[in-house]
Amino acid sequence: ETGVTQSPTHLIKTRGQQVTLRCSSQSGHNTVSWYQQALGQGPQFIFQYYREEENGRGNFPPRFSGLQFPNYSSELNVNALELDDSALYLCASSLDYGELFFGEGSRLTVL
């Protein structure tokens, strides 16, 4: 069974640009959640997708958007990047609402 994989692992963008982060769920999982983890902080919930539908959203502006595909992989898109968007973005998958399995994350730096 393959675990949760995320890409890219690291990337650098400039203010105003757009970024797409990708996540492949663990085999058999149908739920994907995205979290933002700033340095020295706990993960902050962005949103969750269950069977291709958004199923909950944290306190993030609309420029954070997502998608879940029929194979349950997922994308996180962030438009109009700001310096404060620099963080580790974690994807976690689960079966229904079970235990979360995290990927290694995508570290985004916005200059």
Partner 1 sequence: GENVEQHPSTLSVQEGDSAVIKCTYSDSASNYFPWYKQELGKRPQLIIDIRSNVGEKKDQRIAVTLNKTAKHFSLHITETQPEDSAVYFCAATDNNNDMRFGAGTRLTVKP
What does the DSSP assignment read for 37-74?
E-TTS--EEEEEEETTEEEEE-S--TTEEEEE-TTS-E
Check residue 48 for interaction with partner 1 (CB under 8 A).
yes
- Residue with Cβ nearer partner 1 (47 or 81): 47
Check residue 66 for interaction with partner 1 (CB under 8 A).
no
Q: How many helices (H) and strands (E) does the chain have?
A: 0, 11
Structure tokens at 111: 């200059």
Closest approach of partner 1 to the CB of residue 29, in Å: 12
Q: From 10-18, 44-52, 70-78, 79-87, give the range in contact with partner 1 by CB under 8 A.
A: 44-52
96, 31 Cβ separation under 8 angstroms? yes
- Residue with Cβ nearer partner 1 (3 or 16): 3
Check residue 26 for interaction with partner 1 (CB under 8 A).
no
Query: Can you tell me the distance from the alpha carbon of 53 to that of 41, in angstroms, rounded to the nearest whole number?
Result: 28
Q: Which residues bind partner 1 (CB under 8 A)?
A: 4, 31, 33, 35, 40-45, 48, 55-59, 90, 94, 97-105
